[in-house]
Amino acid sequence: MENIVLTIGGLLKSFGWSDLFFFAVTLLLIVLLVYIIYMIKIEDEDVEPVKNKATIKTSPVKNEPVKSLSKIVDELEANYKPKPIDLSEYEKEQENTAIISYKELLEKASNNIYYDDEYDSGFDDVLIQKVDNKESRTQELVDLPKAVMMSYESEEEFYRALKVLQKNLVR
């Protein structure tokens, strides 16, 4: 018996702290896994329907009979009353002025949208229309100035000037 104790002690001394920590965590996880399986098994036994009508199971928390899940669902469906939603004034205003459909959007747009009748989207099931901005009578098209791109040489000079500026700021 003494040899066994000395052998186990020598074995434990040969392990480092990280090895012992790993073994302890592994043992803890195994115990936790067994406990979870045990709780699931107990829960499954409580949910099974009562086979003998003379015995009625009661819940451990209250002295009420345990109801089957289907009875609870049926009661919820029969007696469900949605909780009223308390809206703030802003939310009420947004709810009243919200556009909820494309038809309402078109009605609120006051018919200022014109479509290109010759546009064919290629889809038969879905109606896709192209907006015709040229025929819009609500605003005139504005000719925007064209953007002028810098030449490559100008960009190189600009970057050189930035490098010089950066060197001067570092000093």
Residue with tokens 């499954």: 44
- Mean residue pLDDT of the chain comes to 77
pLDDT over 80 at 89, yes or no: yes
- Write out the two tokens for 58: 């009661």
Q: How far apart (Å, rounded) are the C-alpha atoms in residues 72 and 65?
A: 12
pLDDT tens, residue by residue, 130-158: 776 665 555 555 566 676 777 778 888 88
- pLDDT category of residue 25 using cuts at 50, 70 and 90: very high
What separation in angstroms does the CA of 66 have from each of 69, 94, 97?
9, 46, 49
Q: Specify whether the backbone of 165 is left (phi greater than 0), alpha (psi in -120 to 50) or beta.
A: alpha
pLDDT score recorded for residue 110: 59
Q: What is the mean pLDDT of residues 98-122?
A: 71
pLDDT score recorded for residue 54: 47
